[in-house]
A and B are shown apart, each in its own frame.
Chain A
Amino acid sequence: MARSNKQSGGFSLPFEQAVIELEKQIAALEQRDNAEDFAPEIETLRGSRDSLLKKIYAGLSPWDIVRVARHPKRPQTSDYLEMMCRDFCELHGDRRFGDDPSIITGLGRIGPYKAMIIGHQKGKTTQEKITCHFGCAHPEGYRKALAKMKLAEKFGLPVVTLIDTPGAYPGIKAEQRGQAEAIATNLREMSRLHTPIVCVVIGEGGSGGALGIGAGDRVAMLEYAWYSVISPEGCAAILWKQANEQSNAAAANALALTARDNLANGLIDHVIPEPVGGAHRNPHATAKDVQSWIVDQIRQLTRSKPETLVQRRYEKLRGIGAVAWQQPQISASAGH
């Protein structure tokens, strides 16, 4: 699936091969001593690369989108903190057991607002990935997140969460320390937190592990993020009895996990478009758009009293579901 390639940092998506070829040609020209002489050619090549990328990304399948969401160069919480947050002051620990590095929490300024920022961290280097369990948090991660949300509530700061996890960690210690209880408690407490909560799915929105910091007033997804009840592989393994390229793709399709699908189903509020070729090709432009959406939401939400926010958040969650009534009439209701 992944092929070694210098231009994109040792990793390329299978559907991007033609783009990689063009990028190789561009790089070759740029490296020449008389590169200036080739400026028009380079420009032309860049133009064709961009239009090719645009075309490829317009036709991505849900399974392709999952791959983009997992791209190793895709910006993570730590990148967003660097790019959109001034004076970030990390706060560690759940005050119960430990400090889970797979969820980063801390105080920071986003645009004109002070906020409590909470996000999954997958890790960049191999060592960091192992320490962060590839973004799969333990119960202490969810408890840390909740402790910091309560802190935000106490001091009237809005909460911003950045969601990027394949799922909560499935392991012996996670079970012993109450993974289910930790997520359940977060859901209950987030629903009655007296301060604005703004959530963005920046990469992977893997099930309860994502929702555990994702029950907010406003929830957006980046264009090539995914969010679903289970990963395509997990779903394929259970319902298709095997996880391979074909069944994974079929499951990704069936799960309606893309940003557009989730928006159409009323499960999120907004899709933040990504730059041509995905967030990994232009992290700064992505961060700028994420930031401006977050700032807009905080501006709107801070106008309401905390009690009103909690009431509206409750009503929003209350409305989600699709049911019918057996005779005499059928009525289906989708969420907001």
Chain B
Amino acid sequence: MTQAPNRTWADSPELAPKGKKAVPEGLWIRCPDCAAILFRKSVENNLWVCPECHHHFRVSGLRRIRQLVDPESFEPFNERMTPVDPLNFVDLKPYTQRLADAQKGTGQNDGVQTGAAFIKGRKVILACMDFEFLGGSMGSVVGEKITQAILLAADRDLPLVIVSCSGGARMMESGFSLMQMAKTTAALARFDDQGGLFISVLTDPTTGGVTASFAMLGDVILAERKALIGFAGPRVIQQTIRQELPEGFQRAEFVLECGFVDRVVERSELRSEISRIIDYAGK
């Protein structure tokens, strides 16, 4: 495997997110769930989970990778793949401007990081989506990087782990984004035919075209506690049916009850959960 030119990404301060934050800034932070005032460092050392109530803060793709893999073991792929604006899309802002802002804010080219890594000594192909990059939306780059990750897992006969965190398909690439659903799932069909193991990890939130494509096709599907998981967003559903939504609707526990995820897990258990499944099902 080729050594990636830049291995300092994980802790490099200049790549630390500066834009729209998943994790609040400041020395002290307030848990949005239990309202406890928490020392930032103590939350950080706890995998960004509230030590009081176990609320799982949303984490960036880079933090996620750092939390999940064995130290220094991540070798990124396709870091230089970058989005284009195939439709010259302009809403209140041009898409190119939105991309530039997101790239500046996150230090990333687009909303997913892919690579090879070890999880508790087991080699995997890993993809982690980044909600901080335009809501983790899937455009051509996300679709292509996920597809290449799947095909690489097939090629190298390795387990595939995709950590989803996305609002769905990216509107600004319209039909191109929509077709990434078909592309990623077609690649998964090949991986499946080959007997590959795909562990899909759903985190808060996983909705829309990402749920309706690769995220729901894991051989084993894990969901972080209380993660919002669904096809349509709760607001859209509420507007359609004009009723209050039931308590806990579309949360990981609810989706498990409905039969669409295998296990709801705490973030602290994710590494051992993944490696355990690999031991049972991986090659």
Contacts and interface: CB of A to CB of B under 8 A. Distances in A.
Contact of A325 (B81, B181, B190, B259): B81
B192 interface: yes
Interface in A203-242: 207-208, 211-212, 215, 227-230, 234-235, 238-241
Nearest to B221: A181
Interface stretch (A47-55, A66-74, A172-180): A172-180
A76 interface: no
B91 A251 contact: yes
B216 A180 contact: yes
B215 to A, nearest CB: 7
Contact of A175 (B82, B92, B230): B230
Given A172-B246, A184-B217, A229 B178 contact: yes
Contacts of A267: 175-176, 178-179
Contacts of B188: 188
B231 A168 contact: yes
A128 B265 CA distance: 44
Interface in B207-264: 208-209, 211-217, 230-232, 236-237, 240-241, 243, 245-246, 249-250, 258-260
B83 A320 contact: no
A320 B91 CA distance: 24
B114 interface: no
A322 B84 contact: yes
Contacts of A326: 80-82, 109
Given A188-B217, A239-B171, A323-B144, A176 B179 contact: no
B232 A174 contact: yes
B102 interface: no
Interface stretch (A2-10, A255-263, A270-278, A290-298): A255-263
A324 interface: yes
Contacts of A170: 231-232, 236-237, 240
Given A228-B178, A239-B91, A318 B183 contact: yes
A19 interface: no
B84 A172 contact: no
Contact of B212 (A172, A180, A227, A323): A180
Interface in B133-187: 140-141, 143-144, 147, 169-171, 173-183, 185-187
B245 A178 contact: no
A56 interface: no
Interface string B76-96: 000011111011011110000
Contacts of A320: 176, 179-180, 182-183
B231 A265 contact: no
A57 interface: no
Contact of A191 (B87, B182, B232): B182
B176 A322 contact: yes
Interface range for A: 35 or more
Nearest to B213: A184
A326 B84 CA distance: 11
A91 to B, nearest CB: 25
Contacts of A332: 84, 86
24 contacts: A168-B212, A171-B237, A174-B232, A175-B250, A177-B258, A178-B260, A180-B260, A183-B213, A192-B193, A211-B179, A215-B182, A228-B178, A235-B171, A240-B91, A254-B87, A254-B89, A257-B175, A265-B87, A267-B176, A317-B186, A321-B144, A324-B82, A326-B80, A327-B80
The 3 closest A-B CB pairs, nearest first, are: A170-B232, A191-B186, A321-B140
Interface of A: 168, 170-172, 174-181, 183-185, 187-189, 191-192, 207-208, 211-212, 215, 227-230, 234-235, 238-241, 250-251, 254-257, 261-262, 265, 267, 313-314, 317-318, 320-327, 332, 334-335
Interface of B: 80-84, 86-87, 89-92, 109, 140-141, 143-144, 147, 169-171, 173-183, 185-190, 192-193, 208-209, 211-217, 230-232, 236-237, 240-241, 243, 245-246, 249-250, 258-260
Given A175-B250, A208-B169, A235-B91, 9 more contacts: A168-B212, A184-B181, A184-B214, A192-B193, A211-B179, A229-B209, A261-B175, A314-B190, A335-B176
